Amino acid sequence: MNTSITGYAGHTLPLASHLARAGWRALDQSAQPGDVTHRQLLVLTLVRDRGPMAQQDIRDVFGLDSSNLVGLLNELEERGLTVRRRDPNDRRRHIVELTPDGSVVLDATYARLAAVEDDLLHALGAEERQVLLQLLQRVMASR
């Protein structure tokens, strides 16, 4: 039984993906020396929202190859935005934490991201943007 909404089936995800790619590209292009990339932003946000996390759990959330994640975490740690420490319960695991400097940079990046969103979503009014955000949050909450 097909439960798709007639005429819309298969169109939402490609549009959402295109919009996200355009936004990330614009964020990265707006970066000044010292700003974080969108990939770094995603990791910093995850660790801020969930608290200290095992490196493996971060890898699993993003579906990254371990070596790619290590490189990304090395960049963040070298800049003092995160710290890694051994898990006291399992010395083979590393726990990643956001530093105070990481929080400051994260806030500044979200200010930059707001400007990018304003440009990308200029065709929508404030109420429409709020509805879009609420719908996306509801979809993500159900995952």
Q: Work out the average pLDDT over 111-138.
A: 95
**Does the pLDDT of residue 56 top 80, yes or no?**
yes
Nearest Cα residue to 12 out of 2, 20, 23, 1: 20
pLDDT of residue 3: 53
3 belongs to a structural domain? no
Q: Give residue 4's pLDDT.
A: 55
Residue 40 inside a domain? The answer is yes
The tens digit of pLDDT for each residue in 102-116 reads 999 999 999 999 999
Domains of the chain: total:
1
State the SS3 of the chain.
Answer: CCCCCCCCCCCHHHHHHHHHHHHHHHHHHCCCCCCCCHHHHHHHHHHHHHCCEEHHHHHHHHCCCHHHHHHHHHHHHHCCCEEEEEECCEEEEEEEEECHHHHHHHHHHHHHHHHHHHHHCCCCCHHHHHHHHHHHHHHHHCC
Rounded CA-CA distance 122/14 in Å is 20
User: Would you call 119 helix, strand, or coil by DSSP?
Assistant: helix
pLDDT at 20: 94
The per-residue pLDDT for range 58-100, each reduced to its tens digit, is 999 999 898 999 999 999 999 999 999 998 888 889 999 999 9
Q: Is 109 part of a structural domain of the chain?
A: yes
pLDDT at residue 2 above 60? no
Give the pLDDT confidence score for residue 92 in this predicted structure. Answer: 85
Contact 82/42 with Cβ under 8 angstroms?
no
Does residue 129 lie in a domain region? yes
Residue 28 lies in a domain: no
Domain that includes residue 41, residue range: 33-141
Lowest pLDDT segment from 29-33, 53-57, 81-85: 29-33
Give the CATH number of the domain where residue 39 resides: 1.10.10.10
Is residue 7 one of the residues assigned to a domain? no
